[in-house]
Structure 1
Amino acid sequence: MARVQTVLGPVDPGHLGPTLPHEHILSDFIGAGRTGPHRWDRAEVFRTMLPYLVALRERGFTGFADCTPGYLGRDVVLLRELSEAAGLHILTSTGYYGAMDDLFVPRHAYGDTVDALAERWVAEWQHGVDGTGIRPGLIKTGVDPVREESPAAPRYGLSEIDAKLVRAAARAHIATGLRVASHTAQGLAARAQLRIFEDEGVDPSGLIVVHLDDEPDTAYHDEVARSGAWLEYDHVGSAALEHHVDLVSATLASYPRQLLLSQDAGWYHVGEPGGGEIRDYNFLHDRFLPALRECGVAEDLLRQVTVDNPARAFAVRG
């Protein structure tokens, strides 16, 4: 039987409900070697962020994927407390984030083999994160842009560490069934990751190409969709409304079962007074979905992209 793994335990995919598949509650950008729970006051973060999550729940959203991985401010106990208080199904992640010149990649990742990295993430799936028993609902990774495309294995133009992270994520997917959500934002980087998945014998549907709406050449969007991978447009609200209305309308017409929508919003910025400037999670509900309706997108398609697709994307068999 399929399930979605949340910080409070497994949930039937049919009960996940309207879901934001890519948001953040807390992030710490100081770097992998210096971050840790000593850097923030969990009670303060809870008080600060709870009203934003309650506001989202009051709008009818019940699912929320927090895509902050380890070494970037992941606090699974905080997420569990917020999930209970807000009445939201919150997912957390395993994996490491290789974008931004690998600032958030821990030192051991460079010495670990691909299998050793994958085993670390599989262990979090099997036993929970840091002794909490809280299990991840997705694998999060990320890559820097490809500067020069290369058809050559094993990197395909990615940096050595980024290629290792993607390969480890693919192997962890095989072992766990968890989808891999990879910060990408560039068509060439998406292509490179799909080649690594092919090398590893992983169906492309195991990959969510994150920030694909940042890639201006929609031929790459078509390439990702034809492969069977997920297209995630998660910067809704960060660009002109009309841009995303046009982009999403066109993609829904061609690939309605592979599209995920989110805002990459939030979050409590560690090190800034009061958490800094926090962007709420309401734009998609308050402005974007009404704009899609106004341009003629049918309600069944809106349900597909906000309810059905996230439930399938995060469902794990067994």
Structure 2
Amino acid sequence: MNNSNLFWVFILALWPWASCFSQQETIETVRGPIEVSALGFSLTHEHVMSNFGKPQGSTSVYDEESLFKQVLPYLKRLKSLGVDAIFDCTTAYFGRRIDLLKKISEQTDINIITNTGFYGGANDKYIPQLAYRKQAAEIAEIWINEFENGIEGTSVRPGFIKLAFDSGTPSEIDLKLFEAGVLTHLKTGLTLAVHTGENIEAAKSEMHLLEKNNVHPSAWVWVHANKVTEDKPLLDAAKKGVWISLDGVNETNYKNYAQRIQNFKKKQLLNQLLLSHDGNGFPAGGTIRSFDAIVKFLIPELIALGFTPKEIDLLTKENPQKAFLPSIKLIRDKN
């Protein structure tokens, strides 16, 4: 074999390794993929707009003129306050509109990350009938297709999976949707952000289904965990790798949130916290439910309590990047 042939044998042998090193860690936004490190200051649970409360058949219909008139100036102001990215948690069947999100993102220069999944809260009001007929694997194929081929015929792909549980004993449909979400994660690496709130029984069921499928707890965000009144269940979950989302911050309760965040700091678990407001820029056409209290009130309060700039960046930049970076998270050792 001559030197030229040896050269190409060497290159081909290295090619799989070279491909690994060249891959970028990206996340999908409504304007296309970006490096996850470019997310910047992120709000991980907001609604740019939604028609939550309206009948399922009308949730995707908006007064677009009024919507843009209200939302665009507000998001531009958020951008001026330092917000770089918003994870939009309005799902299909209760108001997700990819075309409108893309226009809003383009005109405000805020990266908006949309979702796949179905919302199982609100007494199942926004679950499509097809979900009852199909098996979990068939539902997962719908969501996987959105990730692989784009949502509703567009090039926009979801950046996470949004699901929800009602209060009380988890229902058959909520469990089936969560199972579908786990199957979607195993194919796409998308993180599951699941409205769980104070429902400890649902949280235990979610943990069980993750373990059953060999999925690490860090694939799951406990959404609305702030509704759990005691910190211990949240601290215990965080120790296992669960992302704890304290996402109800407003200008009247931020001091309580600061205290809870301090409790996580004392246990060296700041690296498992996500912060947001569950705000809404256009709630069924109504006035804004604001999502600026973290910047205006909570962060100054944390600084006054001795939190360092590095810790603030951890909570608002680094944690969202790690939580939502698409990667299949498996339990490596069950023993």
Give the whole-Å Cα distance in 2 for the aligned partners of 1:116 and 1:47: 40
CA contact (8 A) 1:32 1:105 kept: no
Q: Write the letter of the residue equivalent to 1:240.
A: N
2:230 matched to which residue of 1?
217
1:173 matched to which residue of 2?
185
1:31 deviation in Å? 5.6
Give the whole-Å Cα distance in 2 for the aligned partners of 1:239 and 1:172: 38
Structure 2 counterparts to residues 125-204 of structure 1, below 5 A: 125-145=147-167, 147=168, 157-186=169-198, 187-204=200-217
CA contact (8 A) 1:100 1:144 kept: yes
Query: Does residue 266 of structure 1 match 2:280?
Result: yes
Structure 2 counterparts to residues 91-102 of structure 1, below 5 A: 91-102=113-124
Aligned length: 303
Match of 1:76 among 89, 98, 106: 98
Question: Match of 2:104, SS?
Answer: helix
Pick which of 9-18 and 231-240 moved more: 231-240
Match of 1:298 among 291, 299, 308: 308
Alignment RMSD, CA only? 1.6
Question: Match of 1:198, SS?
Answer: helix
2:17 matched to which residue of 1?
none
Give deviations 1:60-107, integer Å, cap 9, x for gaps: 111111111100100111111011100111100000010111111011
Percent of pairs identical after alignment? 32
Query: Does residue 23 of structure 1 match 2:46?
Result: yes
Give the whole-Å Cα distance in 2 for the aligned partners of 1:126 and 1:140: 17
CA contact (8 A) 2:250 2:291 kept: no
Question: Match of 2:271, SS?
Answer: coil
Q: Write the letter of the residue equivalent to 2:234.
A: H
Query: Does residue 115 of structure 1 match 2:137?
Result: yes
Give the whole-Å Cα distance in 2 for the aligned partners of 1:141 and 1:249: 28
1:240 matched to which residue of 2?
253
1:10 deviation in Å? 0.8
Give the whole-Å Cα distance in 1 for the aligned partners of 2:109 and 2:305: 32
Give the whole-Å Cα distance in 1 for the aligned partners of 2:92 and 2:326: 21
CA contact (8 A) 1:139 1:180 kept: yes
CA contact (8 A) 1:98 1:104 kept: yes
2:221 matched to which residue of 1?
208
Q: Write the letter of the residue equivalent to 2:275.
A: L
Give deviations 1:146-179, integer Å, cap 9, x for gaps: x3xxxxxxxxx41100101111111101111110
Normalised TM-score (structure 2): 0.87
1:243 deviation in Å? 1.2
Unaligned runs of 5+ in 1: 148-156
1:240 deviation in Å? 2.2
Match of 1:4 among 27, 46, 62: 27
CA contact (8 A) 1:31 1:103 kept: no
Question: Match of 1:141, SS?
Answer: strand
1:150 matched to which residue of 2?
none
Give the whole-Å Cα distance in 1 for the aligned partners of 2:111 and 2:271: 22
Pick which of 245-254 and 161-170 moved more: 245-254
